[in-house]
Amino acid sequence: MVGADASRPLRPTDPRELGGYTLLGRLGEGGMGSVYLARDPKDSLVAVKVIRTDLAGEPEFRQRFRSEVERAKQVPPFCTAEVLDADPDHESPYLVVEYVDGPSLSSVVQQRGPLTPANLHGLAIGVATALTAIHGAGVIHRDLKPSNVLLAPGTPKVIDFGIARAVEGQPGNTRTDQLIGTVAYMAPERLDTKARKALTPAADVFAWGAVVAFAGTGRITFAADSMPAVAVRIMTAEPDLDGLTGPLRELVEAALAKDPADRPTARDLLDRLLTRGPDRALSSGELPRQAAAAAEAGSRFAVVDADPTNLQPEAAAPRLRDSRWAKPAAAGLGATTLLLGGLTVALLTGALPAGFAAGTGPSPSPSVSTSVSPTPTPTPTPSASPSPSASPSPSPSRSPSRSPAPQPYLKDPLAKGLYWEDLDTDPNGATCLFTDGAYVATTLKDWSYQCGGPADALQDFRLEVDVTLLTEGSCAGLWYRKRGLYGYELRVCQNVAYVLRHAKDDPQAGLPLREIPLTRPVVLNRKTRVAVSGAQSRFRFFIGGREIAAPVDNTVFTEGRVVIGVSTEERVGTAPWQVRFQNLAMWATAA
């Protein structure tokens, strides 16, 4: 996706036309397939990525690819190559993205040497802006590197999101001894198989530090004579930052911290870059324009206060424990409050690192999966007396003792099949169906029915979802740390919530660990935000943005899936019992 003159001639075996797009030349090749320069039916240049033939033959891959493409379209296009079209059902599945006519950062540095301080600062801002928008859409890039940063007119473009999530788990594809990405820009947690840390946006922040260091020095930060040696240096050595100075060097050092919790977020980077840098790099007139540029990261995705005279605290922005990054932006820039929404995806992938075996093995990091568990579970519950009025309110407040992940790794509006799917095969008539832009769980028996979802095995986690109880006696069921038939459940009914544990040979099975009368009842047919947060053995519960009881401690289950569905309040109401779910988000760390 660089200039048209950089494309190579088509090979005899390459297609000449695909889905109405005329292929003109080859732009590159990676672990997932080939990228072509093409013209669309309106004679505009586009980039078309055609998936490898061996992957195209896997039905599971096509299903995942379809879901990933739908989520990719939610990514703000301002600082990225916009997704224009895709056909996962084509004989050769393909993806069409915006053609970016500009050289890559890697080619510019190789040809001209390191960037000047002012250009380097501008590059750092552009890539941090892109990551802020990407992470705000719930996406982790996974393969940020100099060749994936194009120096397009106006602002750098970050390209080539990996569809690694769609490809992982495919037979004969990504082995357990391979990593998707480029080793020199991988965060330590991706290389350390013993730590088994979940992948978070902090991995992209580490890559940002390595990319900016390369642009400013002309060297790979953790260079060594082999890829395994590079990996060892990333995990154990200090970065080589000779040539970088001042505040930008401090930011790069922080971004390259070994512990992901010690790194600033992309938003933190952007705040600092907009208020510090080389002399005259950002004038007072340029500051609001740079903030506005961040806002353009997808119209409905961003709201920015760019008034340099209006300083307000950034109460909504998650911050690190290190007080250096907890300070609001310095005078001269208003608080740039980015409210970014979207869905998680990894879009285009780069090449696998040749000759590198990291021995990744199984990992608890979240992975996209369409597997579901429609098993109904009879679980009688105690009843409770009604009480009046309710008032839905925003999502739960953050824990004062533990910072949440900067962005959810999974977001699903539950308007159509992405991570969840229609279920209508239960012999007792229970269903989970997408209806009128929401996911509706129904049971005709006075027991629970579970709607499945991703197969991610989470340890510390946070789950938020909008629930609407549609009929009397209906309860929303949120199962967590669930393994097979067993795990925990938060059951939210109109006037009471229950915390239950379902364990094999458990004398307390089906009986609540905690019964929580609701001082603000959940009103029928009114949307209410419900959240569960788990850190080690402690669980917290929120309804309508309020913590409804003291935390519950229990040590039986240490990890497992998150599942949603419908439960009932025993002997309350009549069939059907129904709950509507919308706007679900999951974090792979506790709030």
- The mean pLDDT value for 261-277 works out to 87
Domain final residue, candidates 306, 326, 346: 326
134 and 229, same domain (yes or no): yes
Q: 205-233, pLDDT tens digit by residue?
A: 999 999 999 999 999 999 988 888 899 99
Q: Looking at residue 101, what is its pLDDT?
A: 83
414 and 322, same domain (yes or no): no
Q: Any bridge partners for residue 479, and if so which?
A: 489, 563
Domain final residue, candidates 272, 305, 326: 326
Strands (E), 379-448: 410-412, 431-435, 438-443
Closest CA to 450 of 374, 357, 523: 374
Closest CA to 91 of 24, 161, 17, 152: 17
Closest CA to 560 of 531, 528, 591, 586: 586
Q: Looking at residue 196, what is its pLDDT?
A: 64
422 and 534, same domain (yes or no): yes
Residue 236 lies in a domain: yes
The Cβ-side half-sphere exposure at 523, using a 13 Å CA radius, reads 11
Domain final residue, candidates 326, 354, 379: 326
Q: 325-357, pLDDT tens digit by residue?
A: 332 322 222 222 222 222 222 222 222 222 222
User: 411 or 297: whose pLDDT is higher?
Assistant: 411
Q: Please give the annotated binding residues, written as ranges.
A: 49
- The mean pLDDT value for 534-563 works out to 92
- The mean pLDDT value for 106-131 works out to 91
Which positions ≥6 away from 214 have C-beta within 8 Å?
105, 106, 109, 146, 220, 221
Q: Looking at residue 277, what is its pLDDT?
A: 53
- The mean pLDDT value for 518-531 works out to 95
Residue 374 lies in a domain: no
Tell me the pLDDT band of 364, cut-offs 50, 70 and 90: very low
> What 3 state SS string does 179-246 have?
CCCCHHHCCHHHHCCCCCCCCCCHHHHHHHHHHHHHHHHCCCCCCCCCHHHHHHHHHHCCCCCCCCCH
- The mean pLDDT value for 95-110 works out to 89
Tokens matching residue 414: 């539950």
428 and 540, same domain (yes or no): yes
Q: Looking at residue 534, what is its pLDDT?
A: 93
Identify which of 56-70, 89-103, 255-269 has the greatest average pLDDT: 255-269
- The mean pLDDT value for 87-96 works out to 88
104 vs 147: CA distance, rounded Å: 5
320 and 437, same domain (yes or no): no
Give backbone dihedrals phi and psi of 216, rounded to 5 degrees, phi first: -90, -20
Angle ∠(441,466,475) on CA atoms, nearest 5: 45
Q: Looking at residue 524, what is its pLDDT?
A: 95
Predicted confidence (pLDDT) at residue 378 exceeds the cutoff of 50: no
Residue 501 lies in a domain: yes
114 and 257, same domain (yes or no): yes
Tell me the pLDDT band of 161, cut-offs 50, 70 and 90: low
Tell me the pLDDT band of 365, cut-offs 50, 70 and 90: very low
Q: Looking at residue 406, what is its pLDDT?
A: 53
Continuous H helices in 222-362: 227-236, 246-255, 266-273, 286-295, 323-326
Closest CA to 160 of 90, 104, 223: 104
Q: Looking at residue 219, what is its pLDDT?
A: 93
We report the CATH number of the domain holding residue 561 as 2.60.120.560
What is the average pLDDT score of the chain?
74
Q: Looking at residue 205, what is its pLDDT?
A: 96
Q: Looking at residue 81, what is its pLDDT?
A: 82
- The mean pLDDT value for 250-276 works out to 92
- The mean pLDDT value for 138-144 works out to 81
316 and 428, same domain (yes or no): no
311 vs 70: CA distance, rounded Å: 38
Residue 438 lies in a domain: yes
Q: Could you give the C-alpha distances from 321 to 11, 264, 318, 404, 548, in angstroms and in order? A: 53, 10, 10, 11, 26
Give the range among 53-62, 471-480, 563-572 with minimum mean pLDDT: 53-62
Residue 73 lies in a domain: no
Tell me the pLDDT band of 91, cut-offs 50, 70 and 90: confident
Q: Which residue has 């060892």 as its token pair?
A: 232
Identify which of 24-33, 87-96, 99-108, 235-244 has the greatest average pLDDT: 235-244
Percent of the chain with pLDDT over 90: 39
Q: Looking at residue 198, what is its pLDDT?
A: 74
Give the range among 278-282, 432-436, 520-524 with minimum mean pLDDT: 278-282
Tell me the pLDDT band of 180, cut-offs 50, 70 and 90: low
Please state the domain count of the chain.
Answer: 2
Say if CB 49 and CB 33 are below 8 A apart.
yes
Predicted confidence (pLDDT) at residue 24 exceeds the cutoff of 80: yes
Residue 369 lies in a domain: no
274 and 127, same domain (yes or no): yes
Tell me the pLDDT band of 68, cut-offs 50, 70 and 90: low
- The mean pLDDT value for 39-60 works out to 85
Predicted confidence (pLDDT) at residue 246 exceeds the cutoff of 80: yes
Tokens matching residue 516: 């929580």
243 vs 552: CA distance, rounded Å: 52
Predicted confidence (pLDDT) at residue 371 exceeds the cutoff of 60: no
pTM, full prediction: 0.49
Q: Looking at residue 327, what is its pLDDT?
A: 29
Residue 392 lies in a domain: no
Q: Looking at residue 234, what is its pLDDT?
A: 94
Predicted confidence (pLDDT) at residue 384 exceeds the cutoff of 50: no
Predicted confidence (pLDDT) at residue 504 exceeds the cutoff of 90: no
Task: Return the percent helix, strand and coil in the chain, to nearest 5.
Answer: 20, 25, 55
Sign of the torsion angle spanned by Cα atoms 265, 164, 348, 224: positive
Q: Please give the annotated binding residues for ATP, written as ranges.
A: 49
Q: Domain containing 471: what range?
A: 410-587
Residue 88 lies in a domain: no
154 and 277, same domain (yes or no): yes
Sign of the torsion angle spanned by Cα atoms 165, 169, 175, 177: positive
Q: Looking at residue 514, what is its pLDDT?
A: 92
261 and 129, same domain (yes or no): yes
Which residues are tagged catalytic?
A: 143
- The mean pLDDT value for 78-103 works out to 87
Tell me the pLDDT band of 297, cut-offs 50, 70 and 90: very low
